[in-house]
Amino acid sequence: MKRQSVDSHVRDFYQDIELSPQKCEQLLEQAEWLTSESALQKKRSWKDVLASWVSVIPWPGRLVWSGATLALVFMLFVLSPMQQVKQKEFLIAKEIALNHNKQLDSDFVYDNISQLDQVMSKLDFSLVKSDLLKQKGLTLTGGRYCSIQGHMAAQLRFYDTEQNRYTLYQVGMQKEFENVRSGVLAVDGASVEVWQEAGNLFGLARNK
């Protein structure tokens, strides 16, 4: 049989095949299902992808992976903010120690904090006589303007009964100071005690 004759018979055979309406409907449903599955795969989120990866990890490996994930989350959302607060506390204490060690004279010589509050009119907060100063038995001798972390502050000079010099810093509360905790830090040869009271941030420095 010639090649042309064979081709003609094959073509005629397939042309004579007709699909039933039921068969056509099945094929269309299958095509629609495949299309929807493909679209769904494209829309899979990173969570689904991650879940599929985890599902193929053996159980011991999943425990290790889960532990590592929790450790990473803890570091990012717990340790990192705590570290930032500690850094801010250290920077405040270091600046206070630096000013304390300069031993600058007072520009306003008063032994009453209410009088200092009146004459230091550039301050955008009110000076407070801290309860801690009463407990330590410190005596005020004067004050001057200074700054803490770029914010105007008051630098007040105190002495105790043995004539040891103390420098008290007060600054109005700022958002960046809200999480600063009370504590004592040793910085640059000075002992700096930091706390919050009556809406102000305090820092009391003395020689170690």
The pLDDT score that the predictor gives to residue 208 is: 81
**What's the confidence (pLDDT) of residue 22?**
63
Of 17, 16, 33, the C-alpha closest to 25 is 33
0.75 exceeded by the pTM? no
Name the amino acid, one letter, at 101: N
Q: Are 125 and 199 in contact (CB under 8 A)?
A: yes
Predicted local confidence at residue 32, as pLDDT: 56
Sequential DSSP letters for 74-131: HIIIIIHHHHHHHHHHHHHHHHHHHHHHHTPPPSB--S-HHHHHHH-TT-SS-----H
For position 39, what pLDDT does the model report?
Answer: 46
13: tokens are 């055979």
Predicted pLDDT of residue 61: 56
Rounded to 5°, the CA angle 191-137-119 comes to 85
Instruction: Kindly give the confidence (pLDDT) of every residue in the chain, 208 residues in length, as a single tens digit, with 9 standing for 90 and above.
Output: 444 454 565 455 445 545 555 655 655 565 554 455 444 454 455 556 556 655 655 656 555 555 655 555 545 444 444 565 588 889 999 999 999 999 899 999 999 999 999 999 999 999 999 988 889 999 999 999 999 999 999 999 999 999 999 999 999 999 999 999 889 999 999 999 999 999 999 999 999 8
Q: What is the DSSP letter of 188?
A: T
Domains of the chain, with CATH numbers?
3-71 (no CATH), 84-207 (3.30.200)
Pairing of β 139-148 and β 200-207 = unpaired
